[in-house]
Amino acid sequence: MAEKEIAAVLNEKGKDLKSMFKDLDATLEQWKFSVEESKEGMRVEIHAVALIKKDKKAKE
């Protein structure tokens, strides 16, 4: 698989992850996703902090 294809797949997966938090009714407080090419290979950084809100019905 070419490196450009890998970067495209990783970007798509990052979008999927971000979408997952929205589906969970979570507030994405911090988000970082980056892909960097180096001599040794490709470095991927994923960092997410999300607040997943409690179900209002569960409180009752």
Per-residue pLDDT reduced to its tens digit, 15-53: 898 888 888 888 889 988 888 888 998 888 888 898 988
What's the predicted TM-score (pTM) here? 0.56
Whether 30 and 47 have beta carbons less than 8 Å apart is answered as yes
Give the pLDDT confidence score for residue 4 in this predicted structure: 67
Residues 6 or more apart in contact with residue 44 via CB below 8 angstroms: 10, 34, 35, 36
Give the pLDDT confidence score for residue 59 in this predicted structure: 57
Give the range of the structural domain holding residue 52, as residue numbers without chain letter. 3-59
Number of domains making up the chain: 1
Query: For residue 60, is pLDDT > 60?
Result: no
Give the pLDDT confidence score for residue 1 in this predicted structure: 52
